[in-house]
Structure 1
């Protein structure tokens, strides 16, 4: 039987092959209609091209932005992934201006952004693992602590860390989680609930004058791991002072020092660090540990604010442990989203 050839009509009325990419090619030709033969396509849009280059430089050299004035460097690093939003805006302006120069310049921020964050767009979760952990800043003003506790427990986590606990709410969380978690400890405003025995429980001094961090060893079937729970001080963005984070930075240094001195090889840090993995001010912590989201999550895993997440300031970080998967949990009565991760302990192979 003879093979039938399929053809499409080209712009000049003749036949053309309906191959992949032809639709995009026709769309590109329509968008650039009238550009060919116009020498001004290289002279127009210089401002847009300059903005594209500046955008690429800010993302590429973000670590060089000084923190001297208003901690501008840390502020830009906190929301660094969102700088990519400016690329399509500039792309539209480039087409409006009919500027070939601007279009070529836009390749720079596109490549830089993909180099920084493109890996987060791939699907990395795997199966397996032997320990599921979760962390949640439950919010001191949470109107439904019982419901929040049950929602987090429903994730099936073996170990749950809660931050921003109030004295009045602690008994509610203890009662709600008692059925699922046999072992627990509350130190100041943070707590740890576990299906497996806890030992070596103690508060961790992060230079605040009250307890907002703790450490415990969890004896899981796959091996023993040191679990740290921390809630670093909040940061504020003020017109007169910029990004105020001095106390947060001081506490991060103290927490990093405590983790550096941890004798156990397997370490998990759960908590609200009030900063992202990109923020240089958290280097004392992040330089030692690996983000489960970056290693085994899908997407950015933004956790705050819960109503419209814009940054991942809550973290699950590990050392000497293999992340298998990482994800955000559904919204609760808090202004943060809870996070969870599945881990493979080293002694379990």
Structure 2
């Protein structure tokens, strides 16, 4: 005779359908982490930056939040958490809105386009000639280099000179161009605490077929991650100085190339990203070259769109070179780009 549980349901059937203890709690945990992640990514600009500039540190790796979403999805599937799966729609939507466009293929663009190559060549590069030849293969109109030191500078000048007859170097940064360069000058972005010999910025007026372009090359101070967090004060100070200079630029079209030691999501670059366009397509993680996790080599523009950015093959540097396509805005009726 089959025993029956209270309510007329067989005991074995009652046991079979009894909820697993803690199942709801696990779903709530996954859902809570998903909502928290969406808040961190979607509202990163209001996240506190102290102590240790934790906000900037998180912003430097925001694209990798997609990996966390995938891991949460796997956990929710394994635990059969419907609540968790539904909650994951929120961080997925936030990530797609913030970074999904970077996954799209490069758009077809017409005229008024410049190809820009940016590379921190490293002051310890064992093969500057090979690096220069690799950069030539990219076919850029402009080539911006950082960490130009000692005899290596002469090597870059010799190798690049045939294809780029115009160039200017100030301190440890340089610009090579297929088009005439005028008004090449030093740009002072040295933090107050740094030695007077520190020189990592330049500006040049490039006479392109599409109008004059103010080209800037910059190498912002490095940052360090330690037990106290992110040490980025000198970089942030240098970024503010450069932002003030760019804001006062009279030429309408501006292209900024350089190792900015930061990602475009990092609030430390806000003085620049608030007034310059960032890349619309491509992640182009450029550092470190052995296992790139972030793009700190940037191409930004004003009165122009950085329609696509990509990495180039590794050289002897600890950075990967990047190449970007920059489409200048149409000329106004006056024939010159408006300031």
TM-score normalised by L of structure 2: 0.86
Deviations 1:63-88 (A, max 9, x none): 12211211100000000110111112
State whether residues 204 and 214 of structure 1, in contact with CA within 8 Å, keep that contact through their aligned partners in structure 2. yes
TM-score normalised by L of structure 1: 0.84
1:271 is matched with which residue? Answer: 258
Query: 2:264, 2:17 → 1: CA distance?
Result: 48
Alpha-carbon spacing, 1:99–1:301, altered in 2? closer, same or farther (3 Å): same
Alpha-carbon spacing, 1:108–1:217, altered in 2? closer, same or farther (3 Å): same
Matched, 1:288 2:288: no
Equivalent position to 1:308, from 286, 291, 314 = 291
Question: In the TM superposition, what is the alpha-carbon distance from 1:137 to its structure 2 partner?
Answer: 0.5
2:76 is matched with which residue? Answer: 94
Question: In the TM superposition, what is the alpha-carbon distance from 1:287 to its structure 2 partner?
Answer: 0.8
Matched, 1:171 2:154: yes
Question: In the TM superposition, what is the alpha-carbon distance from 1:277 to its structure 2 partner?
Answer: 1.0
Classify the secondary structure of the residue corresponding to 2:222: coil
2:60 is matched with which residue? Answer: 78
Question: In the TM superposition, what is the alpha-carbon distance from 1:307 to its structure 2 partner?
Answer: 1.8
Alignment root-mean-square deviation, CA: 1.9
State whether residues 200 and 216 of structure 1, in contact with CA within 8 Å, keep that contact through their aligned partners in structure 2. yes
2:214 is matched with which residue? Answer: 226
Classify the secondary structure of the residue corresponding to 1:169: helix
Question: In the TM superposition, what is the alpha-carbon distance from 1:329 to its structure 2 partner?
Answer: 1.5
| Deviation larger for 90-99 or 321-330 | 321-330
Deviations 1:30-88 (A, max 9, x none): xxxxxx97755545432222222221221122112211211100000000110111112
Alpha-carbon spacing, 1:90–1:344, altered in 2? closer, same or farther (3 Å): closer
Query: 2:59, 2:306 → 1: CA distance?
Result: 24
Alpha-carbon spacing, 1:273–1:127, altered in 2? closer, same or farther (3 Å): same
Alpha-carbon spacing, 1:38–1:203, altered in 2? closer, same or farther (3 Å): farther
State whether residues 223 and 346 of structure 1, in contact with CA within 8 Å, keep that contact through their aligned partners in structure 2. no
2:10 is matched with which residue? Answer: none
Query: 1:249, 1:324 → 2: CA distance?
Result: 26
Classify the secondary structure of the residue corresponding to 1:128: coil
Gap runs ≥5 in structure 2: 1-15, 333-339
Query: 1:178, 1:74 → 2: CA distance?
Result: 39
Question: In the TM superposition, what is the alpha-carbon distance from 1:103 to its structure 2 partner?
Answer: 1.6
